[in-house]
Amino acid sequence: MAKFIITGGKKLSGEVTVNSAKNSAVALIIASLINRGITRLKNVPAIEEVNRLVEVLVSLGVPIKKENNDLVIGPVAKIDLKNINIVAAQKTRSIIMMLGALSSRLKEYAVPQAGGCRLGSRTIKPHLYALEKIGLDVKTEKDKYLVNVKKLRPAEIVLYEAGDTVTENILMAAAQTVGETTIKFCSSNYMVRDTCHFLERLGVKIEGIGTSTLKVHGLANINKNIDYEISEDPIEAMLFVSIGATTNSAITIKRCPIDFLELELLKLEKMGYEFEIIKKYKGRNGLTNLVDIITKPSKLKALEEKIHALPFPGINQDNLPFFVPIATQARGETLIHDWTYENRAIYYPELNRLGANVTLMDPHRVEVEGPTKLYGAEVVCPAALRPAAIILVAMLAAEGTSTLYNVYPIHRGYEKLEERLSALGADIKLVEE
């Protein structure tokens, strides 16, 4: 247990650099199980979600060592599930991708039930429907998934929903299935592209990367020594954009993956948010388009239209919550529609403890009236990463001292955030309990 003590209401300044993407990193750690050779993942974020997955893989007998910011995984000659670290596995929803990753390794296996953020009912049926098409029989029990692999066979698959994790899951299975598998209604989000490019490094040919239809030419045996550079995190970039807007500060945010922020920035521009893109360049992987952004003090106004997420190229579902603290400082009423999850919007009125005026209209919609003066308060982190992060954003803008308890959900997704915020001039202390 740990808490943040924050004295807010300060203008921030300076530079902050966006780290590698959490959601890409966790997918690629699991995807490394496909490779019989050695996988080096470069610039892996030092976050709790990664730590839990490393604990799981080590418990399977997978050699892993950390070299500076890299994870060196393998060679993965054999997978043994009998001693799997169930406690660590149950703390991350990403564990569900082991269903696809292990499909050519074992004929029968059990994967612990997924955990992670508490965001209401999150059906796994899209995973099951897709995987059964390719030859996996998955039965759901109270605390685990039982998998029987009949025979992997290429197929034409229409995903039940265009989800990021389900797309990655079926990609991992298809990569190990000899022949051409067509996957339709795919997500084309950043972590899916990272997964595709990673699989290509392993020798798997994939057509249609960045579109909603992928053709995967799977291989019978994947055994290569590879390096892979993880792309930068648009959700972390949006966190700092939100901090700049909510605290009315001028900060420079470096290494922002612009292709996955363009619509968010356009909406903010129409809200009166002033910023400048000062540099454009390629990421270290040679694939990601990056920019540096300078935020500026701005007078914000509410949009007439609702703000809602959509599959890429819409507003990212993980970026949507960051509009809530911004809207508390915008003149007028902002309607935010979080249709993706049954119970994520219920956390947004927690900002009212800090003086915000957020009305929960139903489990999916909130109306935010602004601008409001925010004041320090004591709040317990919700058991969900992005709702926890927006409380932190609001506390940075709130005058007086705030205490944010049980900050593990934030450390699941953000590396040394308190240190990086302190470098921008924030008065924030991490206190271990």
Q: Which residues are catalytic?
A: 117
Rounded CA-CA distance 394/381 in Å is: 13
Rounded CA-CA distance 95/85 in Å is: 11
Phi, psi of 157 (to 5 degrees): -125, 130
Rounded CA-CA distance 243/418 in Å is: 13
**DSSP state letters, 118-184:** --S----HHHHHHHHHTTEEEEE-SSEEEEEE------EEE-SS--HHHHHHHHHHHHTSSEEEEEE
CB 41 within 8 A of CB 62: no
Q: Which residues pair with 108 in a beta bridge?
A: 148
Rounded CA-CA distance 159/407 in Å is: 35
Phi-psi region of 428 (alpha: psi -120 to 50; beta: other; left: phi over 0): beta
Angle made by CA atoms 263, 318, 384, in degrees to the nearest 5? 160
**How far is CA 190 from each of CA 209, 230, 262, 287, rounded to the nearest angstrom?**
11, 10, 13, 11
CB 398 within 8 A of CB 356: no
Rounded CA-CA distance 246/368 in Å is: 13
Which among 275, 251, 250 is positioned nearest to 262, based on CA atoms? 275
Instruction: Please give the helix or strand (H or E) that residue 396 lies within, else none.
Output: helix 385-397
Strands 307-308 and 300-301: unpaired
Rounded CA-CA distance 167/171 in Å is: 6
CB 379 within 8 A of CB 350: yes
